[in-house]
Structure 1
Amino acid sequence: MSVKLRALQAKKAELVAAARKFNDETDARAQAENRGWTVEETTQYSAMRDSIVATQASIEREQALVAEEAGLQATMPPMSGASTIAAPPAAAAPATVAVPAGARISVEENVMNDPRRGFRSFGDFSRAVRGAALAATGAAALDRRLSMMAAAPTTYGNESNGADGGFAVPPEFSQEIWRLSIEDGSLVPMTLNTETSSNSMVFPKDETTPWGSGVQAYWKGEGSASGQSKMQLGTEMLRLKELMVLVPVTNELLEDAPALGSYLTPLASDRIQWKTNEAILFGTGGAQPQGCMNSNALVTVAKESGQATQTLLQANISRMRSRLLTGQLKNAIWIGNPDILPALEGMTVGQIPIFLPPGTGIREGGYDGTLNGRPLILSEHAAAFSSQSDLSLISLKGYRTITKAGGLETATSMHLYFDANATAFRFIFRIDGQPVMQAPVTPPTGKSTNTRSYFVTLGAR
């Protein structure tokens, strides 16, 4: 295969991966915002597709030329100052190839261009890692695919294993795990998410209102000076926190490669998704994100006068909706404990039901119905029925997250649990987040005494 052909194929692989990422992220964003793709998004995706098609055409042209060149049998005359290499004698006239003076041949390892690094499956990779432990005793040879993927060296060397006793998981398997963790059920795509290659990011913020402080508009009379206003910008810093899954797997299980692939991948992604969602909602800050339900911007709607415990009333839901920040209803979702479901079914405003189960609501994928016109997610993250936050109405457009570019970091080691005859698989996801507002919004004077926020929850009853 020619160097140019390999380069074109690698370029196409990168273009396809970028198109896949853009498609998945745009679908998730459009779904969270209850809309279709915008013209700009469609145009951008079409441009990416055009690049893929153009690269494929270049690949086909190069393949055709390579095939034609391989079929040439003519003798090429030697160049001045060059040596010649004669072909072995054959029935036909011998052929020679001219080699220019000073020419050299370079060889690169094609397997490093393969996102699977030459492994057929995650189970195949795991079995090779298991074999590396035997290679350390001299009972077997180290799989050459692993020798090209040794992790960065530390202060000591090890001939038969990765330089620090571990091997990086091939990127395709790593990306597969991360894609699973942001599918239906993850809250990250609903937030104001930014990927970063650094460890932190600083964002400017403006919490002023059109009727409060900060930049204002004034009516101006003819010939009179206009009122002036001053920006009130603040900043907030987010610093990536580490969320780790450490999974020891017995070497007996590693012998069963297909079983490991079906066991370990969903196990890691489920733990990552659960902990990330919990932090976005109820994180305490510090070593983890600051959750929206633990922030000063949270609005808590008290129970109705005389309302009994273990009940949920239509008035509770209406009051919660009225406390949502104006203009955010189109982005809002309900999150409730599954135990509230019996109280919701049959609840009406007049003759109109306010809860619609799946199959009858305005939205389907990933939701458990609609409540008051917005998607409902029944979640074990919600508090117990009749406790505060058993039902919440939130718009995660008021919550900012940063995630580490590249997604999930993965690695393996057979040394951590060597005495237990087990191999450790480690998954690290780095994220931070916090609400964009530090307090609820107060309406204009005389308009209302109720504050409003991106995050509204129902109080205990």
Structure 2
Amino acid sequence: MKIDLFPSDATDADLQAYAAVAADFADAPLENADVGFLDWSELQSSRRALRNMRGELGEVQNPSAEQQRALKIAARVLQTINGELDRRSESGSREPRRTAGRNTSAEAGDDPRHPLARVAGDRPALSLVHGGGGGIGASRVLACFNGHDRGGFHDFGDFARAVATRDPRLFNAASGMQTGVASDGGAAVPVGFLRDLMAASLEQEAVRPRARVIPMPTGTVTLPRFDTTNRSTGVATLTGKPTAEGATAVAQKAKTTDIVLKATKLVCMVPCTDELIEDAGPTFGTLLSDFMAQAMAATVDDYLLLGTGVAQPVGVVNADCTVEVTKESGQAAATLLPANLAKMVARLAPASFGRSVWLAHSSVVAQLFTLTQTIKNIAGTENVGGFGPGWFTTAPDGTMQLLSRPLVVTDRLQPLGTSGDILLADLTQYIVGQVGEARLAVDRSVGFKEGETWFKLTLRLDGQPMHQAPITPRRGSDTLSPFVKLETRS
């Protein structure tokens, strides 16, 4: 019986080889099931198992015929699962097809009532509202890559070998190529491979999947926004004015400012020898795309978290609107105290708490596991006890929470003890502008004498917070922000 999960041209020997190898990997899909009927969690666990399987098989020096068959099938099953995950993300529903109706995720898309923004040249550009709903990053980024066409190639490695050998399929697959890449030189890569690479990059990123991602028709885009930084006199100076029956209403003018996005060009170029492409066989494409995705994910997060704003995005840590909480009096160097976390929550804009996430450097995690609230004597002169407040929790699937909000661990923040080692952030209040599609091109002419093929991944983007300064609350003196960091403890 032919099944949707596996490729239609797979032979019985292919499937038997896959089943034999996949049996060693937990959650690797084996049953005759259409992926459209799998739960979201089942799709994700299957994808993780398949990626682990590909990674381990990719490290085998001389894979057996059975392992090569299994790797080929795994790549195509993974393609099917990725396609289903993309379909659900784009539709806004994570529910399997057997479920009636639609359960729209908070991350499904922007409010359709957003005002129109303007671009250089006064051309209509995109929509933006200040302080709207949930983030839409991942689905919006992937929506830039139209289609899943792979140009007739089995995998990325197959495409790379075709470039090295001038395979005729390169000239027959023009309909599946990206637009606008030819000017970069070399061969344009089918959009299906680029989409997979971008999906893998997004999985490893901390900011972009949770931010507001908007398309930029040009390298510079100007967006209007309401200035809500001072709420002591209203929201953007607007208030509800008591008006008597028949009286003339008081006219008000909202305070507005502009956000200017100027795209930064990021390029990842990788040379690969003919011998590497040929000898690595079916594992080459997996290894190359995985490492390019890791490199791009690390670079994008570096800019969106720590960017200075000078010829690069304004990172969350360095943004003018980010509030920095002071350390405790007498606090030891390179430590994290419950009081630090409590004060960070207190400085978060109230509307942001339900959308916020913690981001922490990996060196901070040990402090969270040993988090202790000390008890002092009546005079307050010495510690007489302590207890764990229970604010930090872990789930069986490995996810973590801190004060009921998700915790994302990354090595792209500052290390323990340095300002920016831990953040509490509502990333829906951070804008990422992306110019068109990312571009992935392959060129053999550059390294022809050396027998090298060059792979070039190009991405143009910018990012900055939607607020230009901390928020002065309606009542109270402490400023608030969607982004809160902790002062250096040294």
Q: Normalized against structure 2, the TM-score is what?
A: 0.64
Question: CA 1:42–1:294 in structure 2 vs 1: closer, same or farther (change >3 Å)?
Answer: closer
Structure possessing the higher radius of gyration over alpha carbons: 1
Instruction: Tell me, in whole angstroms, the C-alpha distance in 2 between the residues paired with 1:333 and 1:29.
Output: 21
| Alignment of structure 1 residues 33-432 onto 2, 5 Å | 37-38=103-104, 115-132=149-166, 143-148=167-172, 166-208=186-228, 211-212=232-233, 213-222=236-245, 224-256=247-279, 257-347=281-371, 352-359=389-396, 367=399, 369-406=400-437, 408-432=438-462
Instruction: Tell me, in whole angstroms, the C-alpha distance in 2 between the residues paired with 1:224 and 1:114.
Output: 61
Instruction: Tell me, in whole angstroms, the C-alpha distance in 1 between the residues paired with 2:197 and 2:224.
Output: 33
Instruction: Tell me, in whole angstroms, the C-alpha distance in 2 between the residues paired with 1:221 and 1:397.
Output: 39
SS of corresponding position for 1:420: coil
Instruction: Tell me, in whole angstroms, the C-alpha distance in 1 between the residues paired with 2:249 and 2:341.
Output: 44
Question: CA 1:375–1:287 in structure 2 vs 1: closer, same or farther (change >3 Å)?
Answer: same
Instruction: Tell me, in whole angstroms, the C-alpha distance in 1 between the residues paired with 2:328 and 2:341.
Output: 11
Structure 1: runs of 5 or more not aligned: 1-15, 31-35, 44-112, 133-142, 153-161
- Note if contact 2:308-2:315 (Cα within 8 Å) is conserved in structure 1: yes
Instruction: Tell me, in whole angstroms, the C-alpha distance in 1 between the residues paired with 2:202 and 2:468.
Output: 27
Deviations 1:8-48 (A, max 9, x none): xxxxxxxx999864523566999xxxxx94389999xxxxx
Deviations 1:228-259 (A, max 9, x none): 32122222221332211100001101113313
Instruction: Tell me, in whole angstroms, the C-alpha distance in 1 between the residues paired with 2:183 and 2:256.
Output: 49
* Corresponding residue number in structure 2 for 1:453: 481
SS of corresponding position for 1:277: helix
Instruction: Tell me, in whole angstroms, the C-alpha distance in 1 between the residues paired with 2:210 and 2:93.
Output: 8
How many angstroms does 1:348 deviate by? 5.7
- Note if contact 1:26-1:37 (Cα within 8 Å) is conserved in structure 2: no
Question: CA 1:196–1:27 in structure 2 vs 1: closer, same or farther (change >3 Å)?
Answer: same
Q: How many residues matched? A: 345
- Note if contact 2:304-2:313 (Cα within 8 Å) is conserved in structure 1: yes
SS of corresponding position for 1:400: strand
Identity of aligned residues (%): 30
Question: CA 1:39–1:175 in structure 2 vs 1: closer, same or farther (change >3 Å)?
Answer: closer
How many angstroms does 1:278 deviate by? 1.3
- Aligned: 1:23 with 2:88: yes
Instruction: Tell me, in whole angstroms, the C-alpha distance in 1 between the residues paired with 2:289 and 2:352.
Output: 36
Instruction: Tell me, in whole angstroms, the C-alpha distance in 2 between the residues paired with 1:304 and 1:291.
Output: 26
- Note if contact 1:399-1:436 (Cα within 8 Å) is conserved in structure 2: yes
How many angstroms does 1:149 deviate by? 5.8
Instruction: Tell me, in whole angstroms, the C-alpha distance in 1 between the residues paired with 2:219 and 2:94.
Output: 24
Q: Normalized against structure 1, the TM-score is what?
A: 0.67
Deviations 1:36-87 (A, max 9, x none): 94389999xxxxxxxxxxxxxxxxxxxxxxxxxxxxxxxxxxxxxxxxxxxx
- Note if contact 1:333-1:374 (Cα within 8 Å) is conserved in structure 2: yes
SS of corresponding position for 1:292: coil
- Note if contact 1:346-1:353 (Cα within 8 Å) is conserved in structure 2: no
Instruction: Tell me, in whole angstroms, the C-alpha distance in 1 between the residues paired with 2:388 and 2:183.
Output: 70
Question: CA 1:315–1:287 in structure 2 vs 1: closer, same or farther (change >3 Å)?
Answer: same
- Note if contact 1:346-1:355 (Cα within 8 Å) is conserved in structure 2: no
Instruction: Tell me, in whole angstroms, the C-alpha distance in 2 between the residues paired with 1:236 and 1:163.
Output: 31
Residue type at the aligned position of 1:38: T
SS of corresponding position for 2:169: helix
SS of corresponding position for 1:412: strand
Residue type at the aligned position of 1:425: F
